[in-house]
Amino acid sequence: MPMTPDAVVRSWFKEIWNEGREEAIDRLADDNFIAHGAPSLPSTTDFKVLYRQFRQALSDIEVTVERTVTQGEYCAGYCRVKGRHTGNGFGGAPSNRMVEFDGVVMALVRHGRIVEAWNCFDFLSMYQQIGWVNKPPTP
């Protein structure tokens, strides 16, 4: 019996992001996988490029799925991301600064695999913590 949408989303972050198991992408993503928003990636091959950039930039990345809501084949998860900017995977020199930001993912899961995912993570906050973007003044 396939895993529930909740279990698939939690496994995605635990195995792939926290444990660094790139091979789990092929097991947990559907053959027609599409990820939107980080930027939009039309295949697992494209997703793996982004994944490697993130793992190189934030070598100790840890994603905690704080809560999920599931409705049928859809699972939405609120996530907290922590890590230290130790590599140049984002295209600039590492700052060695800690970052902590949050985000939301909504995944369509069929037969225990993610078919499509919509991602909205606070990368502006991450860039501010790295020191690449100044915080705007509060109105």
Domain segments of the chain as ranges: 5-130
What is the structure's pLDDT at 6? Answer: 98
pTM (predicted TM-score): 0.93
Tell me which CATH code domain 5-130 carries.
Answer: 3.10.450.50
What is the structure's pLDDT at 41? Answer: 84
| Contact status, residue 61 vs residue 36, Cβ threshold 8 Å | no
User: Could you tell me the pLDDT band of residue 77, with boundaries at 50, 70 and 90?
Assistant: very high
Who wins on pLDDT, 139 or 62? 62
Nearest 10 degrees: CA dihedral of 90, 64, 12, 95?
Answer: 10
Percent of the chain with pLDDT over 70: 99
Q: How far apart are the first and last CA of the chain?
A: 53
